[in-house]
Amino acid sequence: MRIAVDAMGGDHAPDEIVRGALLYRASGGAAEIVLVGDPARLHASDGIGVEPATEVVEMGEHPGAALRRRGDTSIAVATRLVREGKADGVVSAGNTGATMAAALLILGRVRGIDRPALCGMLPTTKGGPACLLDAGATMDATAQNILQFARMASRFMERVHGVPSPSVGLLNVGEEPEKGGRIQLEAHELLRGAADIRFYGNVEGRDILHGTTDIVVTDGFTGNTVAKAMEGVLDVMTEGIRRDIFGGAGGKVAALVALPGIRRFRARMDYEPYVSAPLLGVNGVSVVTHGRARARMLKLAIDVAERSIASGLIAALGVAA
Amino acid sequence: MRIAVDAMGGDHAPDEIVRGALLYRASGGAAEIVLVGDPARLHASDGIGVEPATEVVEMGEHPGAALRRRGDTSIAVATRLVREGKADGVVSAGNTGATMAAALLILGRVRGIDRPALCGMLPTTKGGPACLLDAGATMDATAQNILQFARMASRFMERVHGVPSPSVGLLNVGEEPEKGGRIQLEAHELLRGAADIRFYGNVEGRDILHGTTDIVVTDGFTGNTVAKAMEGVLDVMTEGIRRDIFGGAGGKVAALVALPGIRRFRARMDYEPYVSAPLLGVNGVSVVTHGRARARMLKLAIDVAERSIASGLIAALGVAA
């Protein structure tokens, strides 16, 4: 097994990306790694090769335009390795839009899947992850698209996260089946009738973090805005705790006393083990991780790619079609 | 001026509702209050009258069905007082759907407004409130509906919260004008061309709490799911702080030391002064407040109704039509 890693993508590329690859190998990872990027900044080592790519898609750049204008970006070169069978999957912490665009343009879609979906993986209070999708790949999703998202996420949670028969909730404004707009009403019916998923019913925004269901499906517009709004609350609360509660002299003393508790809290909020997820619906394993990934998160993203490949995820996604 | 208060709506009705009305009067409120509900549990006093209503719409009940089946619910009776000119506005902490349904059925819409919108009022890190709407009144909103929401919210923030020339952001998946689905692309164009609002451009979910704009507009489906998802994060974080960081013996000591900071943090997160907002687009002042409102929040909701009435909000909403 061989996994291509976009060594130039992400806020801490290439150094932390390289460290992540080394960490993966040192921890006994089964796959060989190919680091894709500037050869002057990358070095081959045991089980780690280098594939040169001269360009990078920057974080703020328009993904489609960047890929059209410059053929030799690290994400395009890495994704082409997968298409050409020289790698079994690709991992990137770079511009998510560019990773998606490269996957769609270069790998194409899985047969039977009309539109791709991105998983937003979140920690839950009951422990373990929940998968919110689509987190931003397909804006104007139809009910049929949402059904396909539910199927793909079910196979993903079964195979990559070992959740047997994962439950699926439809994100809605209330639990009752008659809630929501046109798309939700239609999607509810389709999901209820699908034999290859375990449909729980409607869930609300506050259910996501409680892990009411293993999977929460919605269109890419709603999923993306909800995920970013949740991130915003998290940031504001974290900053408030740091500044208001533990800032100043008294606060610093309190922080020392509360240290074991702060560590407990952090451990509970640690989403690094599952934040990375493949873009579902493209014809190859293309794992997206956070732009702020450092070595540990990158290593864990490679783990996700490895499990996706080893479990035959891509072939399973087309089964329902 | 006279304000009808649904004395039977909300988790702490009628006692906390009555206490809220007394608090409003004691603090020099300009309006007379009419408490609407079970006369056996309500008592008239100086500036506070009682209007009997025998039924209540329960929190979990289907609002439309409840209003059709039982004519004598407290929210219906209170709203009819407004239609009949016996009150200038209504305030309820009860079932939001029922308050909206009663307002639409009994008061009707403002001329020139096609669909109503509910404000979700939130605290921001820059201080002062932001208005997220529509927070759940109109599911399948068109771009034209969203433009009307922006106009109504602008008049509301100017007149009721004293924000001169409030800025309006369109909730979207990115800042660039070409982001989003069909509705967002069309709404962006309409908002940009509107002379009677100050359009900032697209904003993302994480901008809401930062107060990037005074108003964030979106359809009622997205607004409702986003608001509930944000509430979910808040609950999970608050519970985590309480249990993980300040639970246990060491945590309790830390909490004592950190008490001034905890108070600062709570004060910053205090949204009670503006959480209540009128349903915009119905032909009368109908203020919705939180189901868990106690006396202080209810008193502040009456303040919002008073300012809405005194400032001629309803007449201003139709101006742009």
Q: Do A265 and B241 make contact, defined as CB atoms within 8 angstroms?
A: yes
Q: Inform me whether the C-beta atom of residue A182 falls under 8 Å from chain B C-beta atoms.
A: yes
| A114-275 classified as CATH 3.40.50.1970 | no
Using alpha carbons, select from B97, B116, B19 the residue that is nearest to residue B57: B97
Contact (Cβ atoms closer than 8 angstroms) between residue A8 and residue A92 = no
CB B13 within 8 A of CB B7: yes
Distance CA A309, CA A280 (A): 13
Could you give the ipTM of this predicted complex? 0.88
For chains A and B, count residue pairs whose Cβ atoms are closer than 8 Å: 184
Which two tokens mark B78? 């209170």
Would you tell me how many other CB atoms lie within 10 Å of the CB of residue A203? 26
- Asked whether the beta carbons of residue B232 and residue A264 sit closer than 8 angstroms, the reply is no
Q: Is B171 on the interface with A (CB under 8 A)?
A: yes
Domain boundaries, chain A: 1-110+281-311, 114-275
Cα(B276)–Cα(B152) distance, integer angstroms: 16
- From the list B171, B240, B255, the residue facing A265 with the nearest CB is B240
Provide the whole-model pTM. 0.90
Pairing of strands A48-52, B32-37: unpaired
B168 touches chain A (CB under 8 A): no
For domain A1-110+281-311, give its CATH number from 3.40.718.10, 3.40.50.1860, 3.30.450.40, 3.90.1300.10. 3.40.718.10
Q: Chain B within 8 Å of A251 (Cβ-Cβ)?
A: yes
- Which neighbouring-strand residues pair with A216? A132, A169
Q: What is the pLDDT along chain B (321 residues), one digit of tens a residue?
A: 999 999 999 999 999 999 999 999 999 999 999 999 999 999 999 999 999 998 888 877 888 888 888 889 999 999 999 999 999 999 999 988 899 999 999 999 999 999 999 999 998 988 889 999 999 999 999 999 999 999 999 999 999 999 999 999 999 998 888 889 999 999 999 999 999 999 999 999 999 999 999 999 999 999 999 999 998 888 888 888 888 888 888 888 888 888 888 888 888 777 788 788 999 999 999 999 988 999 999 999 999 999 999 999 999 997 543
Q: Which two tokens stand for residue A236?
A: 């504001």
Same fold, A1-110+281-311 and A114-275: yes
Report the alpha-carbon distance of residue A105 to residue A99 in Å, rounded: 10
Per-residue DSSP letters for A47-88? TEEEEE--B---TTS-HHHHHHH-TTBHHHHHHHHHHTTS-S
Give the single-character DSSP code of A45.
B
Using CA coordinates, name the residue in chain A closest to B232. A206
Residue B13, min C-alpha distance to chain A (Å): 23
Q: Are the Cβ atoms of B257 and A260 closer than 8 angstroms?
A: no
**Span B119-275: which CATH code?**
3.40.718.10
Could B261 and A239 be called an inter-chain contact, meaning their C-beta atoms sit closer than 8 Å? no
CATH topology of domain B1-113+281-321: Isopropylmalate Dehydrogenase (3.40.718)
Determine the residue among A208, A225, A230, A241 to mutate to test chain B binding: the one whose Cβ has the most chain B Cβ atoms within 10 Å: A225
Exposed, middle or buried by CB within 10 Å (0-12, 13-18, 19+), for A267?
Answer: exposed
> Chain A window 25-64: which residues touch B at a Cβ cutoff of 8 Å?
62
- Compute the C-alpha angle A122/A124/A128, nearest 5°: 85
